[in-house]
Amino acid sequence: MFKLTPRLKPNYTFSDWIAALNIFQKNPIDSYEKEFANKFQNYYGVMFQHGRTGLYALLKVWELENDEVICPAYTCVVVPNAIVLSGNIPVFVDSSKESFNMNLELLEKTITEKTKAIVVTHIFGYPMDVVKVQEIVKNAEQKYGHKIYVIQDAAHSYGAKWQEKLVTKYGDAAIFGSNISKVINSIFGGMVSTNSKETYEKLKSWRKSNSKASGFSKSIKRFIYFVAVNIAFNSYVYGFVNWLERIGALDRFVKYFEEDKIYFPTDWDMMPSSIEARVGRNQLKKYNYIMENRIKNAKNWINKLQDEECQFMQDMQGSTYSHCVALVENRDEWLEKYRNEGIQLGILIEYSIPYMKAYESYKRGEYPVSLEYSKKSINFPNWV
């Protein structure tokens, strides 16, 4: 009766259980960092408890303070949260009409002499034109006479390529999120990868002096969470879980933002635990398989729905389809129709950040395209 295909689901298999339980692995965090950086062709990786913690740490070690950091209006709210909490000022750029990413012309106009960093997000796995971004940034650096850091936000775009080159090879650093809603995960956790030895060493030392120790009880809690996730995402159980979610009983676990608050979760500055790194390492091994199949599943949806009244972005080479997203006019009807067929659709991302209560004071003008996306986007489950 309750059977429901969830909108997202982590790819946990037997090998992840083995990894989670293999407490004899030596220094899994170090290994995970190296393997991760290697996979996405950067020299160094530093693991954090969340992707947002990594962004926060980058802004701190680069000593940005009261500076303007540009990011998309249409992105995950944890990004501007990290910018504000690090003592900086988020400046938003509206989306392009051709993809869900920042409009490059607007980006160029938004840079001022106060701009010290730009978060380049490849949302839903659609690559941004990183070559053009580089050119814009270079011109601005010459004009204003100071460094402008470029951070690739690869939380949705593990492995995305622009002109056959990984987007994470561009810029000063890349951030990744790897909670259970991401393409691969380390239970919780996030990563920063970089080619700069200096940035790497500073991040390591920042983490050392600013992180709370991650003890045995946290490992146990993470293991319990891992087990719970395995149970909850079974499609028979999930129907019931979804019902609990809809009546609000799970807000504590599933809600990741509040309209009117800029905050971090309480575990934000904890050292990631070994169990998370062990699961992350195993997920990394399955990365190619997961990615190929996510793309395949997304393309199946797109083919299947081509005559329906929903609009997909044009297929872009190098996209990784972290989500299979379409724009529809009457979102609630779509949600309802699919739910009746036993499939849960997602609505990610359902806000344009400068229009959120917490960010009103950072709003500069209007962001109509992102606002439209926030009202019309819907995503079809393409997990493996």
Question: Catalytic positions, please?
Answer: 182
Quick check: helix, strand or coil at residue 241?
helix
CB 65 within 8 A of CB 281: no
Cβ count near 134 (within 10 Å): 14
CB 82 within 8 A of CB 59: yes
How far apart are CB 74 and ligand PLP at their closest, in Å?
Answer: 9
CA separation for the pair 326, 313 (Å, rounded) = 7
CA separation for the pair 361, 359 (Å, rounded) = 5
How far apart are CB 100 and ligand PLP at their closest, in Å?
Answer: 10
The residue (of 83 and 111) whose beta carbon lies closer to ligand PLP is 83
Quick check: helix, strand or coil at residue 316?
coil
Give which of 71, 3, 8, 19 is closest to 256, Cα–Cα.
8
The residue (of 79 and 184) whose beta carbon lies closer to ligand PLP is 79
CA separation for the pair 200, 194 (Å, rounded) = 7
Burial class for 14, CB neighbours closer than 10 Å (0-12, 13-18, 19+)? exposed
H/E stretch holding 68 reads strand 68-72
Residues facing residue 166 across a β-bridge: 161
How far apart are CB 75 and ligand PLP at their closest, in Å?
Answer: 5
The residue (of 140 and 158) whose beta carbon lies closer to ligand PLP is 158
How far apart are CB 358 and ligand PLP at their closest, in Å?
Answer: 16
How far apart are CB 88 and ligand PLP at their closest, in Å?
Answer: 16
Strand-by-strand arrangement of the 377-380 sheet:
311-312, 324-327, 377-380
| Those residues with Cβ within 8 angstroms of residue 335's Cβ, 6 or more apart along the chain or in another chain | 345, 347, 378
Q: Spell 319-330 as b/e; 16+ CB within 10 A means b.
A: bbbbbbbbbbee
CB 162 within 8 A of CB 130: yes
The residue (of 180 and 232) whose beta carbon lies closer to ligand PLP is 180
Interior CA angle at 342 toward 341 and 347, to 5°? 100
Which residues contribute to the site for ligand PLP (CB under 6 A)? Answer: 50-52, 75-76, 78-79, 121, 153, 155-156, 177, 179, 190
CA separation for the pair 13, 19 (Å, rounded) = 10
How far apart are CB 157 and ligand PLP at their closest, in Å?
Answer: 9
